[in-house]
Structure 1
Amino acid sequence: MNILVVLAHPSDTSFNRAIADAVTGVLRGNGHRVVFHDLYAEGFDPLLARGEDARDAALDAVVANHCAELSAADGVVIVHPNWWGQPPAILKGWVDRVLRPGVAYEFEEGDNGEGVPVGLLKARAAVVFNTSNTPPERESQVFGDPLQLLWKNCIFDLCGVKRFCRRMFGVIVTSTPEERRQWIEEAKGLVGEVFPAA
């Protein structure tokens, strides 16, 4: 299978990077072809240019390449921190520029965008790993877990990816090395279950 892994964290020594490296290793060990993008390291430009949102817009080579890789993916893994209940801006910009009409979704004939889009992604499953400094109970009870709603309901479900798994690790700032080791093993186990050996 072709698996697209996207990391969005500015530090190459972050726990997010450790998660991305660990799950990428599992995927490759299971015989999958992995395309890996560290958006910060690559300097991905998150700004959607005027007119680029049109279905027939001319895309720069970087965005066109990301679109082709997403279209070819049988699975998607996203790794990012929870910042104010949202992904980092660089990842939001990646979504804006890459999950575009004609690539990730389209509207039915005669629909001007007021209806529910038809998903175009061929990916069978998506896995999202987040880190947070908010306790899970507070995230769910007070904030309504906005990242779950965003990734599952607003993005992957509408783009045709029906199997969705997400795991939030935290509280990161007070975590011990042993907790982090356990979380890495949990991330490896989850991605190995969703994308087993080919």
Structure 2
Amino acid sequence: MKILIILGHPDPGSLNHAIAHAVRDDMVNAGHEVLLRDLYMEGFNPVLSAEEIPENGNVPAEIQAHCNDLSSADGIVIVHPNWWGQPPAILKGWIDRVFRPGLTYRFEEGDNGEGVPIGLLRAKAAVVLNTSNTEETREQTVFGDPLDAIWRRCIFDLCGVRSFHRRIFTAVVTSTREQRVAWIEEAKVLCRGAFKEKSLNNLLDHTH
């Protein structure tokens, strides 16, 4: 399987980097073809231009490369911190520029955008791994867990990804080394389960 990992954290020494690289290595060892994109390291430009917005817009070559990676992936892993209930700006810009109309979704003929889009992504499973300093129950009861709504309902559901998995690792600021090691192992186990061939084949068998 082709697995695309998107990493959105500026610090190479962060837990996010450790998680992303550990998952990458584990997926490679499991026989998957894995591409890890570190958005900060590659200097990804998150600013969407007006020329890119239309479906037939002018898409720069470096953005088209990201589009090709996304459209060819069988599975997707997103790794980023919870910053103010949102992904880092660089990752939001990646969504804006790469989740393009005609590539990740389309509307029925005659629908000018007011309806529910048809998901086009090939990937049938996605995993989102978040780090945070907010206790998980507080994140859900006080803030409504906005990252779950963003990734699950606003993005992957609408783009045709039928199997969604997410884990929040918190609170990082008070965690011990043993806890962080355990979190990394948990991330690997979650991704192994999400990208089992049998599970994905069952999803494909029931796709209309």
Q: Distance in 1 between matches of 2:108 and 2:197?
A: 37
Give the C-alpha shift of residue 51 in structure 1: 2.5
Aligned match of 1:81: 81
Whether 2:46 is the aligned partner of 1:49: answer no
Q: Distance in 1 between matches of 2:137 and 2:69?
A: 36
Give the C-alpha shift of residue 197 in structure 1: 7.2
- Which amino acid in structure 1 is aligned with residue 144 of structure 2? G
When the two structures are superposed, what TM-score results if normalisation uses the length of structure 2?
A: 0.93
1:154-189 alpha-carbon deviations (Å, 9 max, x no partner): 000000001000000010001000100110110011
Tell me, what secondary structure is at the counterpart of 1:51? Answer: helix
Aligned match of 1:168: 168
> Residues 84-123 of structure 1: matches in 2 within 5 Å?
84-123=84-123
Overall identity of the aligned pairs, in %:
59
**Runs of 4+ with deviation above 3 angstroms:** none
In the superposition, relative to structure 1, how do residues 86 and 178 fare at CA in structure 2: closer, same or farther (>3 Å)? same
Give the C-alpha shift of residue 114 in structure 1: 0.5
- Which amino acid in structure 1 is aligned with residue 189 of structure 2? G
Tell me, what secondary structure is at the counterpart of 2:173? Answer: coil
Higher relative contact order (CA 8 A, sep 6+): 1
Tell me, what secondary structure is at the counterpart of 2:50? Answer: coil
Give the C-alpha shift of residue 132 in structure 1: 0.2
Q: Distance in 1 between matches of 2:49 and 2:197?
A: 40
Unmatched segments (≥5 aa) in structure 2: 199-208
Q: Distance in 2 between matches of 1:34 and 1:193?
A: 16
Aligned match of 1:133: 133
Tell me, what secondary structure is at the counterpart of 2:128? Answer: strand
1:3-49 alpha-carbon deviations (Å, 9 max, x no partner): 11000000001000000011101110111111110000000000001
Tell me, what secondary structure is at the counterpart of 2:174? Answer: coil
RMSD across aligned C-alpha pairs, in angstroms?
1.0
Q: Distance in 1 between matches of 2:140 and 2:119?
A: 28
- Which amino acid in structure 2 is aligned with residue 103 of structure 1? L
When the two structures are superposed, what TM-score results if normalisation uses the length of structure 1?
A: 0.98
Tell me, what secondary structure is at the counterpart of 1:165? Answer: strand
Tell me, what secondary structure is at the counterpart of 1:58? Answer: coil
Aligned match of 2:21: 21
Give the C-alpha shift of residue 58 in structure 1: 1.5
Aligned match of 1:189: 189
Number of positions where the alignment pairs a residue of Structure 1 with one of Structure 2: 198
Q: Distance in 1 between matches of 2:71 and 2:147?
A: 23
Unmatched segments (≥5 aa) in structure 1: none
Q: Distance in 2 between matches of 1:15 and 1:197?
A: 28
Q: Distance in 2 between matches of 1:176 and 1:74?
A: 34
